[in-house]
Each structure stands twice: as C-alpha cells, then as structure tokens.
Chains A and B, each alone.
Chain A
Amino acid sequence: MKRFGFAQLIVLLNFFALPTVTVAELLIEITGGSESPIALSIVPFSNETSQSLPEIMEQVISDDLSRSGKFSLLPASQMLSLPSRGKEVIYRDWKTLGQNYLLVGHVKFSTSEQLYHVSYELFDVFQQTRLLGEELTTNKKGLRKLSHIISDSIFEMITGVRGVFSTSIAYVTLQRPKGKDQYRLQVSDADGHNDKVLLESSEPIMSPVWSPDSQKLAYVSFENGHSQIFTQEVSTGKRRSISNKKGLNSSPAWSPDGKSMVITRSIDGNAELYLINVKSLRAKRITRQFGIDTEASWSPDGRSLAFTSDRGGSAQVYIMSMNNFQADRLTFEGSYNSRPRFGGDGQSIYFVHKKEGSFNVAKIDLKEGLLQVLTSTSLDDSPSLSPNGRLIIYGTQRGNKGVLSVFAVDGSSRYFLPARFGDVRDPAWSPFPVYQ
C-alpha cells in the first residue's frame, strides 16, 4: 500500500484470480487525502482455521481506512514482526517505524457452531496501551461485513467520529445496450461491493431516498409511462405505490420519524409540495404559489424543510417551518441554487450552486449565511450526506460518464466511484443500520 498524500491511486476492488471474491460493479478511485495522515499498521490477521478464508479481512479494513483519507497504512512487507494478539506485540518494532496505532487479529472457526470467531485488538504505540479488544462471531458469509464493523470501531476510537464503513448506498445506473435505455435501482455496501439490483426498467428511475430505519427505499419510477412514487423493502423487494396522481409524482423526502413524507405533485396546476402520511397516504398541500416547488429535505429535528423554489424568479433554496408552513428564502448568491440537504447537525445546508456555467456542490451555514463551494467537478447533482455527517456523496460527470464522487466535509478525503459500465447517478447514503 502506498502512502497517501494527494497521490492518485486506483484501487480495483475486484480480484479476478479469486473466484470467491465478489466483483464490484462500482470501482473506487482515490484522489485526495489528509495532509497529515495518522500512521496505522494493520498486521495481516492470522488464519487459525483449517481452511483459506473467503475474505482477506486486513485488506478490507485497510481499504476502508485508507479511503477515509485519515490514515497512512504501513505495507506488510515493511513490518518487523507479525503479532496476532496482545501478548505478541513488541512496541519497539512499531515505534521504530513511526507508527501511531497498531491493529492485530486472528480468526478461528467453530465447526460445531459453523461460525467464525474473529478477535482483534487496537494498540496506541506511543502510550503502549491497548485501546480496543473484541471478539466477534459471524457465519461463513459475514466476514466482509465484520471487517467493516471493525473499521468502524477503529475509526471511532481514533477520530472520535462514528464510522460509516458498514453502511450502504443506493444509486441509479443507466446503460444503453443496443441503443435502448436500461435503468437500474441498486444498493451496495458503502465501498461499492455486494451490489444488488432492486428494480430494472427501460423507463427512468430517479431520486432514491432511504427510510430512517434503513429498511426501505422510496423512489420515482416511470415504468407506467409517467412519474410515480413507490416504496420498496430492500430485503424482500415488496413494493407499494405512494403517489400516482395526474402530473408529477416526484421528489420523495422521508421525515426523520418515518411517519410522513413530503413529495412533489403538480395535480393542482404546477409543482407543489405535499405532506403525506405514509400509512394512510392522506395528503396535505403545503405550498401555494405559481412557481415550481420541489426537492424537499427535512431537518434532522423534523421541524423544518429545505426545498427548491423559483417563486422569486429563479431556482433558490428556501426553508419552511413545519409548524406554520411559512417559507423564507435562504440563498441570495448566484442565479441558480437547488436540491438542498441538511447537514448532520442541522446547522448547514448542502446544495447545488451555479457559478459561471459550472454546477457545484456548495454549503451554506444557516447562522451566518456564508456560502462555500466544495467541489471542482462541474456538472454536480444530488448531494447526499453520510449518517455521521462527515462525507458527501454526489453525482457528477467525468469524461463522458456519469460517476459518483465522495469527499469529506473537512477536506481530508476524496474519491470517485465510477460504474464499470454506463452511468451512475442519484446516490443516497443509508442511515446507520438498525440491528435487529
């Protein structure tokens, strides 16, 4: 593994030589990292089972942590010893190499239970103390997921921020085999692996959003010849039509408590916002003016709604109180500001800002109203926030392809997720998984 500064590194997470490893349809291309990364050593986990492991756990963990941009990882070839548990650790071996942290682990398999037992320990090299130690169990298919969980724990222990390595992303891909459109609604791990197709259509699919309990996606599908909103259970595929009125049925936004949705309908003449009860589907119209009102997004506390409106003559971001449905304009800089999403603390809004012909993801601070452009790509759309509030994933154009891009709000990480084939767009980062 190379050291990461701002070096370009293409990490292809598909190993053709190992048939047991899933080939990812999304690739990862890292283009940015922290200026002063933390030196971390991940010692190859010792395999104490009688067979080869279906996942190279230290590889998955290394990929996760290097992608975060916060760490620089020591190549195994440079390690002076290879401990697999605390009592084997010689701190001098790691201090010599300037390492801050050390991760060791081993894997056992219980044939009676048919379960893997994975033990890992995280050490602070300078303090010479153990920070973390856990034993986790999983079935034969769960090693990759377990690796992500370990990455999350390490990330949180060292940075204080909860990791999102074990979360998922939803997105839409578009291919044109033989000139015909083929849209797919897909879900994958946050690193693009284990992708699953939830819906395939020759007509457009757009705007996927996760339910707060991460069990369902709501999205817009044109499968019946016009825009229609559906919800779909990710695990079972079970679908439900939420809105199918004349005109637009689009831009679904789930409330933080999962009981309501704000959607866009144009049945009353032009695009307006409607508040829907998810259970009964009873609708209440909440905007009433001649322009376009769409792209609603709830604040984390459920008390406000950000949305796009051109009631003032151009597309701008407005904030509405869910108490009295009064809306005030938020953006005054630039001729086009749209598609808002609240930041994790509810104190800022991420949106798309047009400047000199370029469309960029930007941020506006709600208190001070200061606008900051965050990207240097140029046809940006659909920013979505990771559940820890640290990362933004969005759709953009690179060369001739629609690709996804991720960057850390603090500037410490940046990478691209192009699809192997065709365009990818409309990403939505899942909430933290709710373990049942």
Chain B
Amino acid sequence: MSLFTKKTLCAAVISATMITGCSSTGTKDGNASAAANQANQTSGQPAQPTVKVNAAEDQAAITAKKLAEQQAKAKVEADQIKEKQQVALREVRTFYFDFDSAELKAESRMSLLAHAAYLSSNSSAKIVLEGYCDERGTREYNLALGERRAKTVERFLVINGVSRSQLDVKSYGEEKPVALGHDDASWAKNRRAVVVYQ
C-alpha cells in the first residue's frame, strides 16, 4: 500500500471518528455518567460526582494516539523505502556522455545524489572516479577528455557535500573499452565515468 493511500485512509478514519463522536455527544455523555453511577451503586461505593466526560475528546485522544502511531509506522516504512531506493540508486556506478562532451546527463543526477548522500554521511568511505572515451579521435586528447569527465562527476559530488579527500580521479582515455565493436552502440557504452568504491 503506498504512502499516499495510507495517509488518506488515516485522514478518513480520523474524520469519521470525529464525526461519529460529535453526533453522539449528548447521548453518550449521559449514558457514560449514568452507567458509571450505576456501576458504583451496585458495588457499594458512593456515587461519584457526575464528571462530564467529553466523549468526543476521548475519541479524539484515542484517534490522535492511533494517528501518531500510524504516522510513526508510516515514517519508518517510508524511510525503509527511501533507503532501498538509495541503495538501488547507488548500484548505478556508470554514467554516460555524448561524443566529445564532459557534460553530465540529466538521468545521472539521482544516482549521483545518492552517492553524494552516502559519502557525505560516511566520511571514511572513498571512491575513485575513472574517466573513459570511445576510440574515435586521438589517444592523448582522449586521455585528457576522460579525465575531464571524471572531474565533472567529482565537481558534482563536492557541490553536494562530499569532501575532496574522499575522491580520487583517474583517466584511461580510450583504453579498457567495455564494448569492443566499432559502431555507435559500442562507442556509446564506452563514453563513461565510473564510480569505484575502495
């Protein structure tokens, strides 16, 4: 069940309880105190002064407690889901680039933010950022371009709270391709920066 549906349900329950409570105030009050007196008389205890119990408030207190419990539970579940999402996002270690470009793509953001969150709250964790290119163009220029790609990722992480001491940058240029073909599909796979946890 999603978070939203739960919240709505809680709200519905709360409102329903409130409404029910309100509509039966008069009758319930009377019944409650009368019943209490009767109970006391039966047991031989002196009759208690009639205390006006606000059933609606009672009901509200009960529902408020229930609500708090439900909210706490919802938060724990939400946190668990969030952590699972973060773990899943951190599973993404490779980020891709266009030809001759070191610009991060929009689709890389969420995962990189997850890495940033993890690294900024785990100061002993270290990563190496490896930059790569496809085989086109010239080898030494590609070595520098690969480094630029890794540095773009480094910059993003630093902006999002990661300490420089946790980051190292390395470039292999067009060496160590993951795809060995000589076509657009292979080249796209090779234009990458890779996060490597140490």
Residues of A bordering B, CB below 8 Å: 181, 204, 206-207, 222, 225-227, 247-248, 250-251, 264, 266, 270-271, 292, 294-295, 308, 310, 314-315, 336, 338-339, 352, 354, 359, 379, 381-382, 397, 400, 425-426
Known A226-B170, A266-B147, A359-B136; contact A294-B175, beta-carbon cutoff 8 A: no
Known A181-B176, A271-B147; contact A295-B137, beta-carbon cutoff 8 A: no
- With both beta carbons as reference points, the residue of chain B lying nearest to A174 in the complex is identified as B175
A379 and B135 form a contact (CB under 8 A): yes
Could you say which of B15-23, B51-59, B138-146, B156-164 contacts chain A? B138-146
A204 and B140 form a contact (CB under 8 A): no
A338 and B138 form a contact (CB under 8 A): yes
Known A207-B139, A292-B141, A352-B138; contact A248-B100, beta-carbon cutoff 8 A: no
In the assembled complex, the CB of A219 is this many whole angstroms from the nearest CB of chain B, namely: 12
Closest 10 CB pairs of A and B: A271-B144, A339-B138, A292-B144, A204-B175, A251-B140, A338-B138, A295-B140, A338-B141, A294-B140, A294-B144
Q: Is the C-beta of B148 less than 8 angstroms from some C-beta in chain A? A: yes
Please, which residues of chain B bring their CB within 8 A of the CB of A227? 143, 171
Please, which residues of chain A bring their CB within 8 A of the CB of B104? none
User: In the complex, A359→B141 CA distance in Å?
Assistant: 14
B148 and A292 form a contact (CB under 8 A): yes
User: In the complex, A148→B100 CA distance in Å?
Assistant: 44
In the assembled complex, the CB of B166 is this many whole angstroms from the nearest CB of chain A, namely: 16
Q: Which of A204, A382, A397 contacts B172 (CB under 8 A)?
A: A204
Known A266-B144, A292-B145, A294-B144; contact A315-B137, beta-carbon cutoff 8 A: yes
In the assembled complex, the CB of A383 is this many whole angstroms from the nearest CB of chain B, namely: 10
B138 and A308 form a contact (CB under 8 A): yes
User: In the complex, A106→B28 CA distance in Å?
Assistant: 131
Q: Is the C-beta of B113 less than 8 angstroms from some C-beta in chain A? A: no
Q: Is the C-beta of B105 less than 8 angstroms from some C-beta in chain A? A: no
In the assembled complex, the CB of A209 is this many whole angstroms from the nearest CB of chain B, namely: 11
B169 and A247 form a contact (CB under 8 A): yes
Known A248-B147, A271-B147, A336-B100; contact A295-B141, beta-carbon cutoff 8 A: yes
B139 and A314 form a contact (CB under 8 A): no
Please, which residues of chain B bring their CB within 8 A of the CB of A352? 137-138
User: In the complex, A310→B102 CA distance in Å?
Assistant: 13
Known A204-B176, A338-B138, A339-B138; contact A400-B182, beta-carbon cutoff 8 A: yes
User: In the complex, A308→B100 CA distance in Å?
Assistant: 14
Known A204-B175, A397-B182; contact A294-B143, beta-carbon cutoff 8 A: yes
A379 and B176 form a contact (CB under 8 A): no
User: In the complex, A204→B138 CA distance in Å?
Assistant: 15
Please, which residues of chain B bring their CB within 8 A of the CB of A336? 100, 137
A248 and B139 form a contact (CB under 8 A): no
- With both beta carbons as reference points, the residue of chain B lying nearest to A314 in the complex is identified as B100
Please, which residues of chain A bring their CB within 8 A of the CB of B138? 295, 308, 315, 338-339, 352, 359, 381-382
User: In the complex, A294→B145 CA distance in Å?
Assistant: 11
Task: Give the one of B135, B140, B148 with max A CB within 10 A.
Answer: B140
In the assembled complex, the CB of A105 is this many whole angstroms from the nearest CB of chain B, namely: 43
User: In the complex, A392→B162 CA distance in Å?
Assistant: 49
Please, which residues of chain A bring their CB within 8 A of the CB of B143? 206, 227, 248, 250-251, 271, 294
Please, which residues of chain A bring their CB within 8 A of the CB of B136? 354, 359, 379
Please, which residues of chain B bring their CB within 8 A of the CB of A426? 139
- With both beta carbons as reference points, the residue of chain B lying nearest to A204 in the complex is identified as B175
In the assembled complex, the CB of B43 is this many whole angstroms from the nearest CB of chain A, namely: 86
A206 and B141 form a contact (CB under 8 A): no
Please, which residues of chain A bring their CB within 8 A of the CB of B147? 247-248, 266, 270-271
Please, which residues of chain A bring their CB within 8 A of the CB of B148? 270, 292
In the assembled complex, the CB of A253 is this many whole angstroms from the nearest CB of chain B, namely: 10
Please, which residues of chain B bring their CB within 8 A of the CB of A226? 170
In the assembled complex, the CB of A393 is this many whole angstroms from the nearest CB of chain B, namely: 15
What 12 additional pairs, Cβ within 8 angstroms, besides A248-B143, A382-B138, A382-B139? Answer: A204-B172, A227-B171, A247-B147, A248-B144, A248-B147, A250-B144, A270-B151, A294-B143, A308-B138, A308-B140, A310-B141, A381-B138
B140 and A207 form a contact (CB under 8 A): yes
In the assembled complex, the CB of A230 is this many whole angstroms from the nearest CB of chain B, namely: 16
Task: Give the one of B143, B170, B171 with max A CB within 10 A.
Answer: B143
Known A339-B138, A382-B138, A426-B139; contact A222-B144, beta-carbon cutoff 8 A: no
